[in-house]
Amino acid sequence: MNDAMITFGPVASRRLGNSLGINNIRPKVCTYSCVYCQVGRTLQMEIEPRHFFEPPEIHARTARRLAALTSQGGVVDCLTFVPDGEPTLDSRMGEAIEQLQALGIKIGVITNGSLLWRPEVRQAVAKAQWVSVKVDSVDPRCWRRINRPHPKLRLEEVLQGIEAFARDFTGELVTETMLVAGLNDKPDNIRAVADFLAKIQPARAYLAAPIRPPAEKWVRTPDESVMAAAHHLFTEKLAQVEYLLGFEQSCAVVGDDLAEEILGITAVHPLREETVSSLLKARKNGRQILNELLKSKKLILVEYEGHRFLVRKLR
C-alpha cells in the first residue's frame, strides 16, 4: 500500500498551517451523508466504531512521509485526522493518536461530532490537541435534511455528546457550521445554532459555505448578504467568529508516484484545476499522468460555481 493511501498533503490550511492529513477510514464510511459533502454521497453508513488500520501502520507511514518532507525542506504544523469518512468510527483512533504524539507535532481531529455521546469516543478524541466539531443545525428536521444522518442517531443525543466533550476537553475546540441556501440559512436556524455554540464556547466558530462540488448538484451557496447576517448573529453570542471560505493555497507532493499522490489528496480534498496545474509543472510527464487518471475515470472533472475541480471517483 502506498503511503498516500493513509497520509496526504500537507495541504495549506488557514486553521492549521501546513496540515498533513491522515485518512484512517476506508472510503467512504460515515455516520452522515451530508448533501454538501465534497467527497460525494456516503457509500456505507455506520454508527458502530470498528477497526480499520493498525495504529503502528498509521504511525510508520506518517513517520516516513514526514521524513520525506523534511528531506525536501518541508514543514508540517499539524497531523490531522480528516479522512473521507467520519474519523471517530475508527475504534483504535485513540491508540493511533497516542503513538503519533511521539513525533512531536500537534495532532488535530476534524469530526462531525455525531458519536461524541459515546464516552469511549470522547476519551479517544480528547487525546488530540485541536478538535473541530460540526454543528449545522440544532433543529431535528433541518438536521436530517442537510446532514442525512444514520437513522439510529438522535440529534438531542448528538448535541449532548458535544456539550459533554466541550466541558472536559483541555485542548483547542473549534466549530464549523456549513450553510446551504434554502436549507439552514434562515435567521432562526442560525440564531439557534449560535445559542447552542454559546453553551460550549469554542475558541473559534467558523461559518462555511459549499465552495467545492457537493454530493448533490442542487446544493448552492447562500448569498453574500446571508453570510454577512449569519456572521453578525454569531458574533452576538460568540467571541471569535470567522468565515471558512478560502480554497486550498497549495499542497505538497512527495515521492515518485504522482498518480497515487494526487489520488490520495483528492480522496478527501477536491482540487481546483489551477492548483493541480502548478503541481504538474515540476514533474516530468505530469500532464500525461493526469490525462491517464481522467481517461481511466479515477478522477473526474467537475464544474461548480464558475470553477473547475478534479474530484476522486468513488466506486
Cell digits of residue 35:
448533501
Q: Do 90 and 65 touch, CB atoms closer than 8 A?
A: no
Q: CA 22 → CA 60, 80, 96, 211, 300, distances in Å?
A: 12, 6, 10, 22, 23
Cell digits of residue 262:
494526487
What are the structural domains, with CATH classification, of the chain?
3-312 (3.20.20.70)
CB neighbour list of residue 228: distance below 8 Å, 6 or more residues apart: none
Q: The pTM is what?
A: 0.82
Burial class (CB in 10 A: 0-12, 13-18, 19+), 252: buried
pLDDT tens over the chain, length 315 residues: 454 578 888 888 878 888 999 999 988 899 999 999 988 899 899 999 999 999 999 999 999 999 998 888 888 999 999 988 999 999 999 999 999 999 999 999 999 999 999 999 999 999 999 999 999 999 999 999 999 999 999 999 999 999 999 999 999 999 999 999 999 999 999 999 999 999 999 999 999 988 888 999 999 988 888 888 899 899 999 999 988 876 544 455 555 677 877 777 775 556 778 777 777 776 778 888 888 888 888 888 877 667 787 876 654
β partners of residue 208? 178, 244
